[in-house]
Structure 1
Amino acid sequence: MSMPMNSRKRYFHVGTARVCITPDVGMPYLGYGWDRQDPFLGVNDDLWAKALVIDDGERAAALIACDMIGFPPAPFAASVREQVAIHTSIPGEHVMLSASHTHSSHASIDLSTLELEWPWVQELIGSLAGAAIAAWQQRQPAMIKVTSGEIHGISENRRVFRSDGKVYRNWDRTVPGAEVRRGPIDPEVGVLLAQRPDGSPLAVLSNFTAHPICAMSQPLVSADFTGLAMTAVEDALGPGVTALFTQGACGDVNPPVVRRNVRDAREVGLELGGEVLRAAASLLPDEVPATDCRVRVATKHVTWEYRMDLMPKDAAARAYAAATEKIESLKRGGASAAAVRAEANRHRDALENYMLTRNDARREEGEIQVLAIGDSAWVGVPGELFCQIGLDIKKQSPVAHTYIVGYANCYQGYFPTPIAYTEGGYEVNVGRWSRFTAAAGVSIEETALELLRAVV
């Protein structure tokens, strides 16, 4: 069988660019909890959107990696893609947006009682598209090499099963009962290196699986450990190198240190950055072969049904109205922010049922996208995929190096394994973060494998 013409080429044309997306102090951040409306009080480290454009001469694709918790709902991704397509030769469906899921970033997903700040959203659309356009304009010859490393000790499955029969999160250190078991982690560190003809590194695209929530209890802007890891990589490799991070199937995976401070984020980031550097360094020698020079993209839209255990619409509206009145009464009475937050969390079910039933929607469409570069494939999923599903996709993939890109293009909540719905726990409680039936996770695995077979 003859080889495709593109596979005989040694060089892609690769471009990178970045734009700072640090929010203004005073903008709300999400953190964790129902009353997610606290403002930022300062900046620990900047947030970035970094674009990587890869062109094989016939097809081109762009990946825009962002220090964000996630992307706003439609038409956000479509708007970014449209601008990129207008100003480059990259088709809109060949653009993948990737969010690291840092919780110390803008309130950009629909999990708060706040309305999204649309003037800021419009500015963000221009910033992300502008980074991809700039990367397109700065393309230069580069080889692509891919490998994987492995790191233990900076991630653990956060669903802790204890002897009382309940599922706790890994930061619940003082709960009663002995630990019985936990779910899996994915220690793989994926690394794609773009290398100039003179051997110098141009870009490093990496992938790892763990929630960036070391610093989420602090009212400070931070890319958390994932962004700090990329800063460490760029500092080590020197000027002219762009390091981009993509998040894996981390729906049920956390770092061991959670919700504490930015020092923890820095320490975990240095460990991750060190493994990315080790893997990237192993690709630098001339004798390490470059990957085939081919870009392929496949995408499919699927429909997921909303779960059936929601309150009836009228009952949800009444419960929400009663809860809102209690919370507002506390505010009028001068209650502390902590007291208001505690009351709000007591009524979380009322809020979430109301938000999910108010518009009569019973299903929602989502996009699964595969961006294949040489012998690597990056599988975009619009939310928080459970680790086991990601591992199963990787194991069955026909592409040598397959990585899950969670929080891609949109945020549509958790995608647990079917058994998790019977086990219980936060990730499967009714809420905007968990609005689909168990069939959604199954369909993602099936669709991802279908698309992976299509790009071989």
Structure 2
Amino acid sequence: MVSLPCPLVIFGVVLGVIFAALTPPHGVADEMPKQFRAGAVAIDITPESFPVSSSGSMTHREAVRAHDPLHARCLVLDDGETSIALVTCDSCMIPREIFDEAKTIASEATGIPTDHMLCSATHTHTAVSVAPTFQSEVQHDYIPFLTQQIAKGIIQAHSRLKPAKVGWAVGNNPRQVFNRRWFLRPGTAITDPFDEGTDRVRMNPSANSPTLLRPAGPIDPEIPVLSVQDLEGRPIAVWANYSLHYVGGVPSESLSADYFGEFARQVTRMLESDDARSPVVVTMTNGTSGDINNVNFFEGHPRQEPFEQIRVVANDVATSAMVAHQRTVMEDWVSIDMLETELELGVRQPTEEDVTRAKKLIAEAGSGPWSDRRLIYANETLDLVDYPDTVTVKLQAVRIGDLAIVSSPCETFVETGLAIKKASPFQPTFTIELANGYNGYLPTPEQHALGGYETWRAKSSYLAVDAEPKVRETLLGLLNELKRRERTMQSDGS
């Protein structure tokens, strides 16, 4: 006689089979689906009252109105483990202290580490002056507002985080960028404000002049585009980069975001994103444009009405950016990584002879403001007496999947940007300049030897001649470390 199992045993076996069928293989239960998230916002940083001091000129200017709004455009990305914030402000340049304070406020509210925030200025020459350069007066009462608005933008972008897709592509537009440093024909006089007579190139010479020989450097026509969408394909943000100083053509009494703001408006219209609940945030960051502008010195062009050239350039660059945007391959998830370091750089301080000459010139001319470049730079010389022997600059590198971004706190020459792109272990790579502070122009040693405006010692150009190689080497070191960490992560299977 065969004994049958009791009902309780049968019930236990059945439960075991069901449990086994429902239980995933070992380890799978611990693997949660990876999710990429993003949030973006454009915060208004237009001053609340006028007149205000406006930067971007060797003489003091006051603006009495804003032709178009100024913004701090903020993007927060999160891969589930790492969060970063990217911020670009419509400003000529912003000192490190302002960015540092804004980052601290935002970090306390969001939990994003301050060393995972990249904040930059566009370099519009018609924004509120917050950095001391030449004879521009700093608008001190605007600084607390700017600081709070940058922090508020990061906090709001973080609060808008939602599941997203990300992708990138590179566009190209050589029509709107020209190297502004030129060799002139032999025998053409090139003056400088120090009466040294050693300059071999001139910045912004007369267009289509018989004296022109050739540009003293290259251009970078690339337009890298980072695109972020929600899971339904609606745009959240478009982050572009172009190596163009600014455009100009703005009346001196007006503030304007220049072509950077118009680019954002043009691309927004092209994307046909009119959803007021979740508008797309479009940003044009400045690449390496220390020696680049929008003047076609080869041919010249007729004088335009105010803001017209801004519109023309923005529309052309926006069209090229959208061509790249349309071929972007969107990814459901990519990993993010970011590194930050500080680098000590030397300062070119004036000699005793320089100071004596400057004091003599000022004494003979009387108090400013001045229009004579010799006097303007004499005053700069006296200001630099109080500068330290060295300064510490903040440098960063970001990886978003296979895309890499590095930052520079300087008006960086295009040669530096091209060299970084060529040597980077990531493709594509681009540089955002005037980021995390302001430390003036960054000519290469070879460009220093040629002289010209960008090398003239002033608050706008004071770093040691060997600063550029050190910055470039450090940024490439950060990129190589990001690559090593990526390979380690991949080998660990994480």
Tell me the TM-score normalised to structure 2 length. Answer: 0.82
Number of residue-to-residue matches in the alignment: 429
Structure-1 residue corresponding to 2:92:
69
Q: 1-side partners of 2:223 and 2:363: how far apart?
A: 48
Query: 1:381·1:405 contact (CA, 8 Å) conserved in 2?
Result: yes
1:180–1:229: structure 2 CA closer, same or farther, 3 Å change rule? Answer: same
Secondary structure of 2:218's counterpart equals: coil
1:23-66 deviation per Cα after TM superposition (whole angstroms, max 9, x unaligned): 34310112322x2x111133221111111000111110001111
Taking only aligned residues, the RMSD between alpha carbons, in angstroms, comes to 2.3
Could you say which residue in structure 2 is the equivalent of 1:90?
A: 112
Q: Match for 1:281 among 326, 340, 345?
A: 326
Q: Which residue of 2 aligns with 1:214?
A: 248
Q: Is 1:203 equivalent to 2:237 in the alignment?
A: yes
Deviation sequence 1:393-449 (CA, Å, 0-9, x none): 010001122110000011110000111111111000111111012210001110010
From 333, 347, 350, the counterpart of 2:378: 350
Does the C-alpha gap of structure 1 residues 398 and 153 become closer, same or farther in structure 2, counting only changes over 3 Å?
Answer: same
- Alignment of 1:303 with 2:328, yes or no, is no
Secondary structure of 2:207's partner?
coil
1:32 aligns with 2:57: yes
Task: Decide whether aligned partners of structure 1 residues 107 and 293 sit closer, same or farther in structure 2, where only a CA change above 3 A counts.
Answer: same
Which residue type is aligned with residue 399 of structure 1?
Answer: F
**Aligned residue for 1:157?**
179
Tell me the amino acid that sits aligned with residue 280 of structure 1: H
Residue number in structure 2 paired with 1:336: none
Further displaced range: 236-245 or 439-448: 236-245
User: Structure 1: any 5+ residue segments left out of the alignment?
Assistant: 1-6, 329-339
User: What SS does the corresponding residue of 1:342 show, helix, strand or coil?
Assistant: coil
Counterpart of 2:53 in 1: which secondary structure?
coil
Equivalent residue for 1:47? 70
The residue number in structure 2 matching 1:232 is 266
Kept after mapping to 1: 8 A contact 2:36/2:333:
no
The answer as to whether partners of 2:165 and 2:333 remain within 8 angstroms in 1 is no
Tell me the equivalent position of 2:294.
255
Aligned to 1:405: 432
| Bigger Cα displacement from structure 2, 221-230 vs 390-399 | 221-230
Q: Which residue number in structure 2 is paired with residue 22 of structure 1?
A: 46
Cα deviation, residue 277, structure 1: 1.6
Amino acid of the structure 2 residue aligned with 1:413: G
Aligned to 2:141: 119
Structure 2 contact 99–437 (Cα < 8 Å) conserved: yes
Mark the CA change 1:10 to 1:192 in structure 2 (over 3 Å): closer, same or farther.
Answer: farther
- Matched residue, 1:364: 391
Q: Distance in 2 between matches of 1:311 and 1:127?
A: 43
Q: Is the 8 A contact 1:310 1:430 kept in 2?
A: no
**Residue 437 of structure 1: SS of its match in structure 2?**
coil
SS at structure 2 position matched to 1:28: strand
Given candidates 453, 472, 484, the residue that maps to 1:445 is 472
Q: Pick closer, same or farther for the CA change 1:145–1:9 going to 2, 3 Å.
A: farther
Distance 1:308 1:130, change over 3 A: closer
Q: What amino acid sits opposite 2:371 in the alignment?
A: A
Asked if structure 2 preserves the Cα contact closer than 8 Å seen for 1:252 and 1:387, the reply is yes
Asked whether the 8 Å contact 1:79–1:125 carries over to 2, the reply is yes
Larger radius of gyration: 2
Report the CA distance between 1:376 and its aligned residue.
1.1
- In structure 2, what is the Cα distance between the partners aligned to 1:13 and 1:310? 54
| Inter-partner Cα distance in structure 1 for 2:361 and 2:39 | 49
Alignment match, 1:419: 446
Q: 1:222 and 1:105 mapped to 2: Cα distance? A: 6
CA distance in 2, matches of 1:268, 1:12: 34
Contact 2:180 2:215 in 1 (8 A): no
Letter in 1 for 2:37: H
Q: What is the CA–CA distance in structure 2 between the aligned matches of 1:289 and 1:138, rounded to whole Å?
A: 20
CA distance in 2, matches of 1:116, 1:341: 17
Counterpart residue number, 1:104: 126
Q: What is the Cα deviation at residue 169 of structure 1?
A: 2.4
8 Å Cα contact 1:28/1:39 also seen in 2: yes
Hey, what does 1:331 align to over in structure 2? none
Q: Of residues 386, 409, 416 in structure 2, which corresponds to 1:389?
A: 416
Structure 2 CA distance for aligned equivalents of residues 319 and 352 of structure 1? 14
Taking the aligned partners of 1:292 and 1:316, their CA distance within structure 2 comes to 61
Listed one character per residue, the Cα deviations across residues 211-246 of structure 1 (whole Å, up to 9, x for unaligned) are 113225643211111221111111221132110121
Extract unaligned runs of 5+ from structure 2: 1-30, 189-199, 484-494
Percentage identity across paired residues of the two chains: 28
CA shift for structure 1 position 320: 6.9
